[in-house]
Amino acid sequence: MADTVLYEVSDGLATITLNRPDAMNALDTGTKAALLDALRSAAEDRAVRAVLLTGTGRAFCVGQDLKEHTAALAADRERGTNRTWDTVRDHYSPIVLAIAEMPKPVVAAVNGAAAGAGAGFAFAADYRVVADTAAFNTAFAGVALAGDSGVSWTLPRLVGHGRAADLLLFPRNVSAEEALELGIANKVVPAAELAATAAALARRLASGPTVAYAAMKKALAYGAERSLRETLGTEEELQAVAGASEDHGAAVESFLRKERPTFAGR
């Protein structure tokens, strides 16, 4: 991994940290590639059972690095090309898919500003723990862009179509308190407690029934666009998968013995 993205695995938890604090964790090409590599490594590593995504410094992630972006636009004008936008296909979309389709829970610890693609990455996570000093901003309309990083899919599912349209058409800073009211944040904590709180929650998920969590994520994504009848069919299939796991069998035996179950993630 590049030093702009830190990757650590401990006790079943992969912690991925955006590490460009002087640039508020803005996303240049190297950082986007390293983040995608880290997410794919976490997805493929059987020792990883949950992922914690966060940033260093004052920001979670403020989106695209505008210095690099400006240079790319200038190069396109000189060449008569439009290659600047390849990054949406090559980086932003795959990163969001890697988060959303991760077969393990992903917790976003939003330590500061989350704007543009940075907000999109947080929206794609399964759970958002937010510092009371943090804020979200869709940002795209402010620079005459339509939006990417999945915001047109994730945001309406978090806050509803009307509120999503308001936040996209009229971008503004959404405080942590308002984010909690809207349903963007799952939990807001004092900034000084964010790291410990998010890590404890993520470690709890890392010690949970990983197969069942993966099935839950699939069911939620599927049900977002399907009828009840179709979703029930998918639940039937996924429940059979979870029910065949070692964890389910062991948990049933533990409950019969009136013991707390221990999950192996299999």
Distance CA(38)–CA(15), nearest Å, equals 9
pLDDT, tens digit, for every residue of 153-202?
999 999 999 999 999 999 999 999 999 999 999 999 999 999 999 999 99
- Mean pLDDT along residues 94-117: 98
Indicate whether 145 belongs to any domain. yes
Indicate whether 23 belongs to any domain. yes
Q: In the beta sheet, which residues pair with residue 6?
A: 17
Does the pTM surpass 0.75? The reply is: yes
Judgement on whether residues 60 and 126 belong to the same structural domain of the protein: yes
Distance CA(129)–CA(127), nearest Å, equals 7
The predicted structure's pLDDT at residue 225: 87
Is the confidence at residue 58, as pLDDT, over 80? yes
- List the domain range (segments joined by +) for residue 217: 210-256
User: What are the distances in angstroms from CA 88 to CA 2, 97, 102, 119?
Assistant: 20, 12, 19, 15
Given CA atoms 83, 22, 140, 123 in this order, what sign does their dihedral have? positive
Distance between start and end Cα atoms, the chain = 28
Judgement on whether residues 31 and 82 belong to the same structural domain of the protein: yes
Is the confidence at residue 71, as pLDDT, over 60? yes
Judgement on whether residues 161 and 240 belong to the same structural domain of the protein: no
Instruction: Report the CATH number at residue 235.
Output: 1.10.12
Mean pLDDT for the chain overall: 96
Number of domains in the chain: 2
Judgement on whether residues 174 and 214 belong to the same structural domain of the protein: no
pLDDT, tens digit, for every residue of 139-157?
999 999 999 999 999 999 9
Indicate whether 266 belongs to any domain. no
Indicate whether 75 belongs to any domain. yes
Q: Which amino acid is at 14?
A: A
Measured N-to-C along each axis, helices 161-169 and 151-159 cross at an angle, to the nearest 10 degrees, of 130
Judgement on whether residues 152 and 56 belong to the same structural domain of the protein: yes
Instruction: Report the CATH number at residue 152.
Output: 3.90.226.10
Judgement on whether residues 130 and 232 belong to the same structural domain of the protein: no
User: What are the distances in angstroms from CA 53 to CA 15, 57, 92, 124, 169?
Assistant: 6, 14, 15, 11, 27
Contact 121, 149 (CB under 8 A): yes
Q: What is the DSSP letter of 245?
A: S
Indicate whether 93 belongs to any domain. yes
Judgement on whether residues 135 and 235 belong to the same structural domain of the protein: no
Backbone angles phi, psi at 262, to 5 degrees: -115, 125
The predicted structure's pLDDT at residue 2: 67
Q: Which of 189, 206, 223 is the last residue of a domain?
A: 206
Least confident piece of the model among 13-17, 182-186, 191-195, 233-237: 233-237
